[in-house]
């Protein structure tokens, strides 16, 4: 059998010719239970707290003074005097408590006297800045806490940071990552699962890396998902923090598929002011999904490794909408994107803020967070699943083209 290599766009066009029904709109998926994995592997899961290194925070605070792409660090300081005293005691370096307390009092006075003070009455260390133009997506982290009126949002500049304990500052930026390990020993009797894992990884992993995974499976050695299973670009990013505003969930999801796409001028058309150049807007994501991916109906095809799950906020007037043509979907409805792995695990970046690291979490936790956020915005949430076309095929595809393109 001869392998046929086709560019993604050509593969899509051929699929449409072979199956006209393929172009028909698929309904939004409105229940997380409808998204079932094709691979359920024996895993050991450990929740791991991760923090940015204090040196990275120092670099971010310093560079934010001169580089508009670097997001400043903000601190939510309690207004109540007693609360602020306790807050300062926990945050201050040794013997710097009184100095820090006086500095915070001074900053609060400045904030209250400024014209824009009302805009600084919410947020926490780790919350997002105010939103920009409509197509700058990931402006809101749905897990952020708002204490309107109870705290004052103060920018942390180098002189203020020098008064703070490195351990206390990094602890406030703590996030939870799921460290997953595949139990290869249990898979010794499941050659079907071993083979399917390698097949699904093949579109995202180089041949040398794939051979190493296959060898570990054969020797019943545990597979670290962070270091063995993720594509190289995701391996380098996972558990790390940025200093720039801009790298967002759309960028992370697209880079998982095609690392070079996020820098391509054919995809990343618009460079946002005061943002890193790799930021992908929701209109850019929607365009590339339609040109270089194909949509999967979760009711017919369980989720596979690398599937991109895109979260939409359907307008309040369209809550009952289930079937809608692609031409009627607005890119502005897109709120989030995550990459499916297996079982209930996903890889993603929470937002465009450097306070959001690249993490492995669960699909259900992301669903709950975004469903709550979308509902608060007056809409209803629906998701669509998109799959990367196969680069080649060495056997005849099944009748349904939901899973195969050649």
Which backbone phi and psi does 330 adopt, to 5 degrees? Answer: -95, 135
CB 12 within 8 A of CB 291: yes
CB 142 within 8 A of CB 373: yes
Helices (H) and strands (E) in the chain, counts: 12, 11
- Please tell me the predicted confidence (pLDDT) of residue 391: 59
Q: Which strand (E) or helix (H) includes residue 211?
A: helix 207-218
Compute how many other C-beta atoms are within 10 angstroms of the C-beta atom of residue 277: 13
From the list 58, 152, 137, 139, the residue with the least C-alpha distance to 105 is 152
- Please tell me the predicted confidence (pLDDT) of residue 149: 75
- pLDDT by residue, tens only, the chain of 406 residues: 444 444 555 555 544 444 433 445 678 999 999 999 999 999 999 999 999 999 999 999 999 999 999 999 999 999 999 999 999 999 999 999 999 999 999 999 988 887 454 554 445 455 444 444 444 455 444 444 445 578 999 999 999 999 999 999 999 999 999 999 999 999 998 999 999 999 999 999 999 999 999 999 999 999 999 999 999 999 999 999 999 999 999 999 999 999 999 999 889 998 899 999 999 999 999 999 999 999 999 999 999 999 999 999 988 765 445 567 777 899 999 999 999 999 999 999 999 999 999 999 999 999 999 999 998 888 889 999 999 997 533 333 333 333 333 2
Q: Which two tokens stand for residue 314?
A: 């359907």
- Please tell me the predicted confidence (pLDDT) of residue 323: 63
Which backbone phi and psi does 310 adopt, to 5 degrees? Answer: -110, 125
- What is the torsion angle, in degrees rounded to the nearest 10, for the CA atoms of residue 240, residue 245, residue 247 and residue 249? 90
Label each residue of 99-115 as H, E or C.
HHHHHHHHHHHHHHHCC
Reduced to 3 states, what is the DSSP secondary structure of residue 336? Answer: strand
Which residues have CB under 8 Å from 239's CB, separation 6+? Answer: 48, 50, 177, 226, 357, 358, 359
Under the phi-then-psi rule, with left for phi > 0, alpha for psi from -120 to 50, and beta for the rest, what region is 378?
Answer: left
- What is the torsion angle, in degrees rounded to the nearest 10, for the CA atoms of residue 86, residue 49, residue 305 and residue 257? 70
Angle made by CA atoms 192, 197, 200, in degrees to the nearest 5: 120
- State how far the Cα of 85 lies from the Cα of 291, in Å rounded to an integer: 56
- The CB-based long-range contact list for 396-403 (8 Å cut-off, 24+ gap) reads 400/300, 400/301, 401/15, 401/18, 401/19, 401/22, 401/294, 402/296, 402/297, 402/300, 402/301, 403/296, 403/301, 403/304
- Please tell me the predicted confidence (pLDDT) of residue 397: 35
Tell me the whole-structure pTM to 2 decimals. 0.83
Which residues have CB under 8 Å from 50's CB, separation 6+? Answer: 174, 175, 176, 177, 239, 357, 359
């Amino acid at each position: 059998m001869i392998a046929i290599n086709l560019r993604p766009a050509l593969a899509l066009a051929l699929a449409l010719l072979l199956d006209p029904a393929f172009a028909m709109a698929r309904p939004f998926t409105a229940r997380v239970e409808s998204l079932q994995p094709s691979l359920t592997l024996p895993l050991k899961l450990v929740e791991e707290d991760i923090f940015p290194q204090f040196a990275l925070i120092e670099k971010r605070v310093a560079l934010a003074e001169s580089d508009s792409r670097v997001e400043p660090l903000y601190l939510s300081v309690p207004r109540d005097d007693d609360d602020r005293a306790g807050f300062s005691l926990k945050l201050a370096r040794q013997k710097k408590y009184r100095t820090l307390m006086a500095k915070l009092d001074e900053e609060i006075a400045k904030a209250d006297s400024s014209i824009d003070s009302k805009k600084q009455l919410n947020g926490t260390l780790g919350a997002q800045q105010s939103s920009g133009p409509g197509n700058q997506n990931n402006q809101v982290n749905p897990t952020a806490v708002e204490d309107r009126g109870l705290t004052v949002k103060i920018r942390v500049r180098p002189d203020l940071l020098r008064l703070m304990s490195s351990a206390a500052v990094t602890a406030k930026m703590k996030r939870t990552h799921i460290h997953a390990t595949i139990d290869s020993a249990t898979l010794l009797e499941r050659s079907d699962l071993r083979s399917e894992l390698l097949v699904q990884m093949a579109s995202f992993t180089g041949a040398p890396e794939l051979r190493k995974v296959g060898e570990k499976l054969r020797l019943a050695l545990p597979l670290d998902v962070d270091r063995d299973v993720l594509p190289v670009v995701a391996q380098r990013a996972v558990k790390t923090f940025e200093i720039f505003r801009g790298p967002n969930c759309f960028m992370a999801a697209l880079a998982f598929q095609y690392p070079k796409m996020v820098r391509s001028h054919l995809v990343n058309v618009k460079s946002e002011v005061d943002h890193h150049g790799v930021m992908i807007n929701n209109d850019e994501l929607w365009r590339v999904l339609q040109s270089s991916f194909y949509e999967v109906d979760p009711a017919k095809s369980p989720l596979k490794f690398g599937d991109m799950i895109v979260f939409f906020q359907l307008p309040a007037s369209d809550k009952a909408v289930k079937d809608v043509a692609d031409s009627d979907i607005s890119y502005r409805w897109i709120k989030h994107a995550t990459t499916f792995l297996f079982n209930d695990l996903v890889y993603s970046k929470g937002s465009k803020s450097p306070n959001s690291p690249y993490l492995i979490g669960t699909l259900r936790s992301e669903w709950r967070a975004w469903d709550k956020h979308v509902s608060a915005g007056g809409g209803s949430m629906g998701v669509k699943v998109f799959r990367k076309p196969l680069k080649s095929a060495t056997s005849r595809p099944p009748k349904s083209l939901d899973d195969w393109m050649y």
